[in-house]
Amino acid sequence: MATRVGLWGPVVVYMAAIFWLSSLSFPPRPPVLSDKAGHLLLYAGLGAVIVRALAGGLPARIGWGPGLMAVAITAVYGVTDELHQLYVHNRSAEIGDVYADALGGATGTLLCALWGIIARSRLPNEL
């Protein structure tokens, strides 16, 4: 079993990276990526590291409880991120970004759940 630091450390680092990016007046973004797609991808990663922490590591079977909790934590962090941006020069808060953040969290969580299902299906049948 992984340690709490090993499980939750990546969550804290990931959240700190998002906070830092949100502190920039002009955050870097690949030119082919729209603002909403950027939010979705960034928060899919956050959802994945949160569900990993809640599940005790990956691949794992992700139940409804940890899955919904991961999405909720990701969405709430998205709200706080938008509020933070209200105080950053040249930035604003947008409800569409919160929706993209929540969808990203759900996407990352769902991908981890699918990984757990696929990994379990590949285990040899025990007699």
Q: Please, which pLDDT band fits residue 75 given cuts at 50, 70 and 90?
A: very high
Model confidence at 126, pLDDT cuts 50, 70, 90, reads: low
pLDDT class of 2 with cuts at 50, 70, 90: confident
Distance (Å, whole) CA 77 – CA 108:
15
Residue 127 lies in a domain: no
Domain hosting 77: range is 4-121
Domain assignment present for residue 78? The answer is yes
- 108 falls within a domain: yes
Asked if residue 70 belongs to a domain, the reply is yes
> Which residue, 107, 71, 103, 79, is CA-closest to 22?
79
In a domain, 82, yes or no: yes
Sign of torsion, CA 7 13 17 20? positive
- Cβ(109)–Cβ(54) below 8 Å: no
The mean pLDDT value for 27-37 works out to 92
Residue 110 has pLDDT above 80, yes or no: yes
Report how far residue 104's alpha carbon sits from residue 118's, in angstroms, rounded to the nearest whole number.
21
Report pTM. 0.91
CB 19 within 8 A of CB 81: yes
Q: Quick one: tokens of 63?
A: 């139940």
Q: Is 54 inside a domain boundary?
A: yes
Inside any domain, residue 69: yes
Q: Within a domain: residue 126?
A: no
